[in-house]
Amino acid sequence: MMNIPYITLLNLSERPGLVELSQLVAQDGEMPVDANLLEVIINGGDVSSWLPDDVINANRAISRINESIADTEAEINGFLRQRGHKLPLTVVPRLLTDWARIIVRYKLHRNRVSDEKNDPIVRDYKQVLGFLKMVAEGKYSLGIDDALPVAGGVPKQTGPVRVFDMNTLRDFGR
């Protein structure tokens, strides 16, 4: 079965964008990769006009992003497995793509020192973790493979005692 990714490089290039991605994956002490070069590589374009060292650095940056994507999918899968979803998913809900984007972005912001009170990236990540925990507990549905529990037994009727029955109506109509 083919594994459908929760998020792709193309999704991330649209939001949060290639400039932010290139800044996030730059190693300490090195310049960020040119966002235009990242775009060319992601879209499968011709890189012959770029310096070979720049192309190598861009491919390393893309590898770092792909590692974060893989880590994110593993993290999400842990919650989905706990809920009993069959993996890999055959359809990826849009909500899951949005959650994956938030988690990848959080993971790439590895040097950020802040908390959820003043940082939207940390806040969004904590919210997504909360939703994933609710999915695992069965309190929140992704709308996929959520089988309703089968009710067992015979249907039961309940209600007040009958006012009119065969005994109370036996003299009626005579």
Q: Which helix (H) or strand (E) holds 109?
A: none
Q: Alpha-carbon distance 157 to 69, whole Å?
A: 53
Q: Per the omega criterion (within 30 degrees of 0), is the bond before 88 cis? A: yes
Report the predicted TM-score, pTM, of the whole model to 2 decimal places: 0.81
Q: Alpha-carbon distance 101 to 10, whole Å?
A: 11
Phi and psi torsions of 96, nearest 5°: -65, -35
Q: Alpha-carbon distance 165 to 167, whole Å?
A: 6
10-residue mean pLDDT profile of the chain (174 residues): values are: 89 96 90 96 97 96 97 97 91 96 94 80 95 95 70 74 79 70
